[in-house]
Amino acid sequence: MSKPVLVVGAGPVGLTMAAELARYGVPVRLVDKAPGRTDQSRALAVWPRTLELLAAAGCAGAFVATGLHAEAVSIHAGGKVLARIPFATIASRFNYLLMIAQSETERLLEDHLQSLGGKVERGAELTDLVDRGDGVSCTLVHDGGRSETMEAAWLIGCDGAHSFVRRRLGLAFEGDTLPTGFIIADAHVAGLAIAPDEPAIFWHSDGAVMFFPMAPGRYRIIADIGSTPLHAPDLKEVQAIVDQRGPGGITLSDPVWLSDFGVNERTVRNYRAGRVFLAGDAAHVHSPAGGQGMNMGMQDAFNLAWKLALVERREAGPALLDSYSIERSAVARQVLSDSGRMTRIVLLRSHLAQWLRGFAVQGIFKIPLVRRTVANRLSGVMIAYPDSPLNAGFARGLRGARPGQRFAADYAPGAGDLPRFTLVATDDAQARAMMARHTALLKPELRQPPRKGIWLVRPDGYVAATARSGNWPVIEAALAGMAADPSPLNRRF
């Protein structure tokens, strides 16, 4: 483990990646070409599944204490509330949406990284990479022009939507650019008559205006601008849109950020090329509708870190790493499709389509199951890896989480410094023998099963294998398939 892993880009994804590797004792360097942290608020929404993973990493408390807790989101049109989707039904101990500026998220992640002995090397740009098969030769150019060549065990490109790493590998970023632009303002808002910590979307025949709370009295305002060329607005223009499309009686003041953005929907097919991985915006970009981009990127990092740590520590075989791209690219495809659909619904222009939209949304969101499903889907707790190559031993008829699904809403793997699977099984001689055989992969303590059966739970809380009580060969085979050096005993199965 002498060569470090090089993480390129200290946005939320690179910071998460470096902190997780540091937590697991893997040598890591984190570089960013920018001289300082972003002061832009960009991503505001941190969803429950991300909070669960931050809790496992040992740093959710600081996030929960810093952000606003939004209890619901509402959709309005023509002076009526069309729908209100409460978050209390989300199957997580974090059953709310945390609103926190991306600049704060990055600050908290950097504090967490520092608490683990890591740091960000700023003003250091990756300008070349060569994958040599047993490592990656990287060229870094530091502020002032000093050039450094370093050997990395692995390189992880968390270098954002315009990723140098992706371009250097020649990976196509397939997808489209939407023809509509958006403007954005972070400003003080007076006169908005909805709960102060509730995101609210107002539909109007000319477009939408959306309010996302950031701090008492302060909101992120987003509005679509059709085919008008992209431009940073002034406050007067935003006020005019709010007056026209909003509920009326709102006064904006004290803007701290006025900007614009276009929407790209793009992904790479494979997040891995040899010893180089991509994560976050470097691998996928999409509409901010649903607030998923940063969450998805941070979850990429959580997914890859434990696998890379096990492989680097020689506790699992390298095939474990092949599951990363398969699992995460499937999630990205789903999120791209969901956020694209949401965006197109917001952008409907024909009067008939808008009328139908209002009628359908009002009717469908009266059904509690619909409200609950939408909230849980947005929260990330329904993310699953049904096609993961790590899934093994689905026991038909066994109630409870299946391979690829999140184990349980209240499951907290506990912040530890080694990535370990948990055996959920009744305490008996066979269970203890299994733990004794697989000390490199299994936690040394059992968790009692919620009902009859055996579950093998991954370090990130997803089920790897299930078996009926007593059917230990299934679990043994799953562990042996991942182990670095399957023992003769394991090969028996």
Ligand X SMILES: Cc1cc2nc3c(=O)[nH]c(=O)nc-3n(C[C@H](O)[C@H](O)[C@H](O)COP(=O)(O)OP(=O)(O)OC[C@H]3O[C@@H](n4cnc5c(N)ncnc54)[C@H](O)[C@@H]3O)c2cc1C
**Residue 246: which residues within 8 A CB-CB, separation 6 or more?**
192, 202, 209, 211
Sheet containing 80-86: order of strands: 80-86, 72-77, 200-204, 207-215, 218-224, 174-190, 251-267, 284-285
Instruction: Determine the size of the site formed for ligand X (CB under 6 A).
Output: 33
Cα–Cα distances (Å) from 352 to 313, 349, 361, in that order, read: 60, 9, 14
- Nearer to ligand X among residue 20 and residue 476 (C-beta): 20
HSE-CB of 295 using CA atoms within 13 angstroms: 27
| x/- map, 154-173, ligand X, by CB under 6 A | ----xxx---x---------
Residue 96 engages ligand X in binding (rule: CB under 6 A): no
Binder among 6, 7, 14, 67 for ligand X (CB under 6 A): 14
Which residue among 4, 5, 19, 32 contacts ligand X (CB under 6 A)?
A: 32
Q: Which one of 18-26, 29-37, 430-438, 454-462 is the stretch in contact with ligand X (CB under 6 A)?
A: 29-37
Q: Return the residue of 291, 393, 404, 413 that touches ligand X, per CB under 6 A.
A: 291
CB of 129 to ligand X, least distance (A): 10
Per CB under 6 A, does 10 bind ligand X?
A: yes
Q: Is 110 in the site for ligand X (CB under 6 A)?
A: no
If one asks whether residue 44 binds ligand X (CB under 6 A), the answer comes out as yes
Residue 385 is a binding residue for ligand X (CB under 6 A):
no
Check if the beta carbon of residue 305 is closer than 8 Å to that of residue 21. yes
Q: Name residue 454's beta-bridge partners.
A: 467
Interaction between residue 246 and ligand X (CB under 6 A) = no
* By the rule CB under 6 A, 184 interacts with ligand X: yes
CB of 222 to ligand X, least distance (A): 7
**What are the structure tokens assigned to 359, written together?**
């009628």
> What backbone torsions phi and psi does residue 330 show, to the nearest 5 degrees?
-65, -40
Nearer to ligand X, 43 or 171 (CB): 43
Contacts of 374 (CB under 8 A, 6+ apart): 85, 365
Angle between helices 12-23 and 102-115 (to 10 degrees): 20
Phi–psi pair at 62, nearest 5 degrees: -65, -35
Q: Does the protein bind ligand X through residue 104 (CB under 6 A)?
A: no
Please select the residue that binds ligand X; options are 118, 288, 403, 461, rule is CB under 6 A: 288
Interface residue with ligand X among 74, 102, 287, 379 (CB under 6 A) is: 102
Task: Enumerate residues 6+ apart whose C-beta is below 8 A from 65.
Answer: none
Q: Looking at beta carbons only, is 10 or 480 nearer to ligand X?
A: 10
Please report, as ranges, the residues that interact with ligand X according to CB under 6 A.
Answer: 8-14, 31-34, 42-45, 102, 125-126, 158-160, 164, 184, 261, 280-281, 288, 291-295, 297
